Amino acid sequence: MRYLRLPLLILLMFLLGCGSVLAKGWKQREFIVTMWCSPPIEDKELSVLVRDNFNLLLVSAGTNEDSIKMLDAAKKNGIRALLAHPLISPSSLDDPATKAQLDALIDKVKNHPALEGYHLIDEPQASTFPMWAKLTKYLRERDPRHLAYINLFPTYANQEQLAVFLTEPPKGPAGVPDNFAGAGANKNTIVFYNEYLREYVQLVKPQLISYDNYGFLPNGRDGEQYFLNLALIRQSALKAHVPFLNIVQSCTWLGNWRLPNKHELRWLGFSTLAYGGKGLSWFTYWGPAEYGGQYQDGKRMPIADDVAGVNKDVRAVGNAMLDMESTAVYNTGSLPIGTRAVPASSPVQISDGEYVLGLFKQNGIQDAFMIMNRSYKNISTAKLTLYFENGELMEFSPELKKWIEVQYVQPGSVVSVTLNQGDGKLFKIAR
């Protein structure tokens, strides 16, 4: 047996070495609350951002010195940052001199405590995935501890914008989806979007999947694909074993969207949690003046106080769910496109009403669930019948940031849960 010790020791050293390499990769540390269109990177605005319960922002720099200056400002105010920079581009890898400049940028920022990652591109077409995959791979080789961030199109982008199943790459810029108000779902929508996600995961190998979907339309109308998009993203993220982030609507745009109210904002946040999302981003927070006043012309969003309140609760609940794995999501009542009814096998049954039910595992045990009021107009009381093993039903309090006892339950116990408009509550069974 003594002759086996040396090979075994070598094997153990190899495995430990691999583990140390893997440990250097980006790992999500808390539920992400961020925004599109950051304010000026100055103390006054950043302090308000932190007060509004954000923990990540995008900084856009033109020089290495500006990058450090902006990261320093983020660190001073206790917020982390994604860095956008002209050098963070696939074209930088094609020229030795520009590649050296990119290397110098990475070396300058990679040890900064405020850096969360690098912002690469918003809404790329599938035909460009190979070049973004090449850049992502290179960034991870140079700086494995930080995220390479890409945001994807929604389901209502058309086939040419997604650039899937085309005989040749589309010409010209992708632009805004031609039916971004929300299109009718059909088989092709799902087929095209699943192919878009499949190619993205296979080629880019993302550490986080991010996408946007804006569905609050004028005259009280809602887009049809919000839950379909959530379901397809969730499915792709679970298969890839990575978290996902949902970019949602907090503004109006040229009369095509309505400005959400506080209940609709809460609906967006808690539907993301119910589907197992690990991050939330608002479009927009600060309206850049260069957008020509389409949003807010360089001001904090008019509903920022309401967003801040949602952020506070969603961030607290999201952190409690960070290590939970989504195992199933069901809907009740009139089913939106892309949703499934609660089956008889579910450990949580709901008598009536319109709700989202998310089931979760923690430490390999399915003992947690979230119930969300799918109505953003009416308060509702859900009557739940639970079929978990005997234990104490615990509810997570976002105000107290801790679990509180509700009642002792056994298989067949009935529990009533009252939910405000668009609200969600997280429970688990303690044994």
- Look at the domain 325-430 and name its fold: Immunoglobulin-like (2.60.40)
- Give residue 186's pLDDT: 80
- Look at the domain 27-320 and name its fold: TIM Barrel (3.20.20)
Q: Picking from 248-262, 337-351, 404-418, which range would have the lowest pLDDT averaged per residue?
A: 248-262
**Band of pLDDT at residue 289, cut at 50, 70 and 90:** low
The chain-wide mean pLDDT, for the chain, equals 92
- Give residue 341's pLDDT: 97
- Give residue 181's pLDDT: 58
**Band of pLDDT at residue 129, cut at 50, 70 and 90:** very high
What residue spans in the chain does CATH classification 2.60.40 cover?
Answer: 325-430
The yes-or-no verdict on residue 16 having pLDDT over 50 is no
Residue bearing the bigger pLDDT, 171 or 348: 348
The yes-or-no verdict on residue 5 having pLDDT over 90 is no
Task: Return the top range by mean pLDDT from 52-56, 170-174, 289-293.
Answer: 52-56
- Give residue 169's pLDDT: 86
Q: pLDDT digit string (tens) for 27-65?
A: 999 999 999 999 999 999 999 999 999 999 999 999 999
The yes-or-no verdict on residue 149 having pLDDT over 60 is yes
What residue spans in the chain does CATH classification 3.20.20.80 cover?
Answer: 27-320
Burial of 188 (0-12, 13-18, 19+ CB in 10 A): exposed
Q: Please state, for a pLDDT cut of 90, what percent of the chain lies above it.
A: 83
**Band of pLDDT at residue 89, cut at 50, 70 and 90:** very high
Q: Picking from 156-160, 278-282, 331-335, 424-428, which range would have the lowest pLDDT averaged per residue?
A: 156-160
pTM for the model stands at 0.93
The yes-or-no verdict on residue 18 having pLDDT over 60 is no
**Band of pLDDT at residue 84, cut at 50, 70 and 90:** very high
Using CA atoms, how far residue 69 sits from 47, 80, 146, 391, in Å, is 16, 13, 19, 52
**Band of pLDDT at residue 271, cut at 50, 70 and 90:** very high
- Give residue 175's pLDDT: 78
| Stretch 12-18: mean pLDDT | 42
